[in-house]
Copies of this chain bind each other. A is one copy, B any other.
Amino acid sequence: MQFVSVEQLDLFIRRCFMAVGLPEHDAKTVAMLMTEADANGSDGHGVFRLPQYIERIQSDGINLQSNIHIAEDKGAMALVDGDNAVGHLVMHYATELAMNRAAEHGVSWVGVRHSNHAGPAALYAKMPLKKDMIGIYVAVGSANHLPPWGGTEMLLSTNPIAVAIPANEEPPIVLDMATTVAAYGKVKTAAQRGESIPEGWMIDKLGNPLTDPSRANEGFLLPIGGPKGYGLSLIFGLLAGTLNGAAFGKNVIDFNADSKSFTNTGQFIIALSIESFGDVNLFKRNVDEVIRSMQASSKLPGFDEIRVPGERSLKIRRQREQSGIPIPDALYDALSRLAKSLKTESLRVL
Contact = CB atoms under 8 A, between A and B. Distances in A.
Interface of A: 72, 74-79, 104-109, 111, 134, 147-153, 155, 163, 165, 173, 175, 177, 181, 206-207, 224-225, 227-229, 231-232, 234-235, 237-239, 242-245, 248-250, 270, 272-274, 276-278, 283, 286-287, 289-290, 293-294, 297-303, 305-309
B165 A297 contact: no
Give the 6 A-B residue pairs with the shortest CB-CB distance, closest first.
A77-B106, A224-B225, A74-B106, A76-B76, A150-B303, A153-B297
Contact of A74 (B105, B147, B150, B308): B105
A107 B102 CA distance: 11
Copies of this chain per assembly: 2
B298 A151 contact: yes
13 contacts: A72-B277, A72-B278, A79-B277, A109-B272, A111-B277, A148-B294, A148-B306, A150-B300, A165-B238, A175-B235, A238-B290, A249-B290, A249-B294
A69 to B, nearest CB: 15
Contact of A309 (B151, B231, B245, B290): B231
A244 to B, nearest CB: 7
A75 B238 contact: no
A273 B74 contact: yes
A194 to B, nearest CB: 26
Contacts of A293: 155, 249-250
A242 B287 contact: yes
A77 to B, nearest CB: 3
Given A107-B109, A150-B300, A245-B277, 8 more contacts: A78-B106, A109-B272, A151-B297, A151-B303, A152-B298, A153-B297, A173-B235, A243-B272
A301 B276 CA distance: 52
A277 B307 CA distance: 39
A75 B103 CA distance: 12
B151 A299 contact: yes
Contacts of A303: 150-151
A150 B235 contact: no
